[in-house]
Structure 1
Amino acid sequence: MNQAVFLDRDGVINEVLTDRVKFVNTPEEFYLLAGAGEGVRLLQDAGYKIFVVTNQGGIGLGFMDEKMLHNVHDHMKEQLQFFDAHIDEIAYCPHKPHENCPCRKPKPQMIHDLARKWDIDLRKSYMIGDREPDIIAGREAGTKTILVGTRDKEKVKADLVFEDLLEAAKHLTNSLS
C-alpha cells in the first residue's frame, strides 16, 4: 500500500483571504504560497502520493463553474512545475456550504475515494489543512492530521502544527534544507 499526503488547497497551497485575493475563482486570483512548491516536491521525492482535497462551494453558489475550476487547477499545476512538483490527483466538492452532501469536508469521502483508487494506507498518511473541517476530515478518514497557518490555530486540535506546508514537509521528510 502507498502512503499519501492529502492537501487542502486554499490556505495551504495558495493564498486566500489576503490583501490580494479573497477567494480563488479564476487563474488570475491564484497565488502560490511561499514554500508550497518546495513542500510538495519534498513530499513527492520522499515517496508520498500527493492529493488535493478541496471544498469549492463557489461552484454551487454560482461564483464560478467547473470549467473555470479546472482552469484554476491547471494554473496551479503549472506553478508547481516550476519546482518540479506535481499533484497526483485533485478531488473537489462543488456543492454549496450547508448542502449536507457526503463529499464536503469535514466529511471524509474525498479522502476515502482517493485512498481506494490509489491503494493508500490511511493510517500511514497525512491530511494537511488550515481549518477545522480539514482536520476533522483527516481524523475521520483515519489519517494523521497537520494544521498549517494561523487561521484556526487556537481552536483546532491537530496531531501536528506548523507555520506552513514547507515546514510540515520538512518535518515529514526529515529534511534540513
Structure 2
Amino acid sequence: MQTKLVILDRDGTINQDSDDYVKSADEWIPMPGALEAIARLNHAGWHVAVASNQSGLGRGLFDVAALNAMHTKMHKLLAAVGGRIDAVFYCPHSPEETCNCRKPLPGLFEQIGERYGTDLSGVHTVGDTLRDLQAGASAGCTTHLVLTGKGERLKGKTLPAEFPIGTQVHADLSAFADWLLAQPEPASKAHKTGVKTV
C-alpha cells in the first residue's frame, strides 16, 4: 500500500518568509496554525516531508549550523503540538550553480521518492510559489498553492496559466489540511467492519 505522504515547501508555507532570507532560528517564525495543521495530518496517518530551496547557504548568508538550528526549532515547536516532519530535503545551491535539486527542477522530490521507496504520482505537494509546484508536478505530484508567503500576491486573482493544470488553491496550510482530511480514504483501505488483516 502506498505511503500516505505530503510534501511541503518551507518558507512561506510553514513559516514566515523574508525577502532578506530566513537566516537564523530567531527569524524562523511559524505561520499561524501551520504547525497544528501538520499535527492534524500526522494524527490521520500522513507522513510529512519538506522540500526547500535554501540558496542562502550558497550565497554565504548563513551556514549549515544556522540551518540546523532553524530546523531544530521547527521540530521542537511541532513536537509541542503533537506533530512531526519526517525529513527535510533542501537545495543548498545558489541559482548560478548547476544542480538538479533547486526548484523548479524536481531533484528534491526525486530524493524524497527514493527515501520513501514510493512513486510520487498523486502525492500532494503544497507551496506558495510557482516553482514549488512546477517541481512537484515534474515528479508527478498533485499540486496545491497556499495564499501565504509569496502566494499572498495571488489573493483574489485567477491563477496564472503557467501554474500546473489542476492546481488547487487554499488560504493557508490549515485550509489545505482541512481539505485533505475531508477527502475519502482510498478504496484499498480495509473497511473497519471487514475482516481483520494480520
Considering the TM-score relative to the shorter chain, is it more than 0.5?
Answer: yes
User: Gaps (5+ residues) in structure 2?
Assistant: 184-198
Bigger shift: residues 54-63 or 149-158:
149-158
Which TM-score applies when normalising by structure 2? 0.81
Quick one: percent identity of the two aligned structures? Answer: 34
Q: Which has the larger radius of gyration?
A: 2
1:132–1:152 CA contact under 8 A, matched in 2: no
RMSD between aligned alpha carbons? 1.7
| Corresponding residue number in structure 2 for 1:112 | 110
| Corresponding residue number in structure 1 for 2:194 | none
| Corresponding residue number in structure 1 for 2:82 | 84
2:125–2:141 CA contact under 8 A, matched in 1: yes
1:2 partnered with 2:3: yes
User: Gaps (5+ residues) in structure 1?
Assistant: none
After superposition, where does 1:141-156 map in structure 2 within 5 Å?
A: 141-149=139-147, 150-151=151-152, 153=154, 154-155=159-160
Q: Distance in 1 between matches of 2:103 and 2:34?
A: 21
Partner SS for 1:122: coil
1:152 Cα deviation from its structure 2 partner: 5.4
Larger RCO (CA under 8 A, 6+ residues apart): 1
| Corresponding residue number in structure 1 for 2:15 | 14
1:16 Cα deviation from its structure 2 partner: 1.0
Partner SS for 2:121: helix
Bigger shift: residues 60-69 or 110-119:
110-119
1:119 Cα deviation from its structure 2 partner: 2.2
| Corresponding residue number in structure 2 for 1:67 | 65
Which TM-score applies when normalising by structure 1? 0.91
Q: Distance in 1 between matches of 2:48 and 2:75?
A: 12
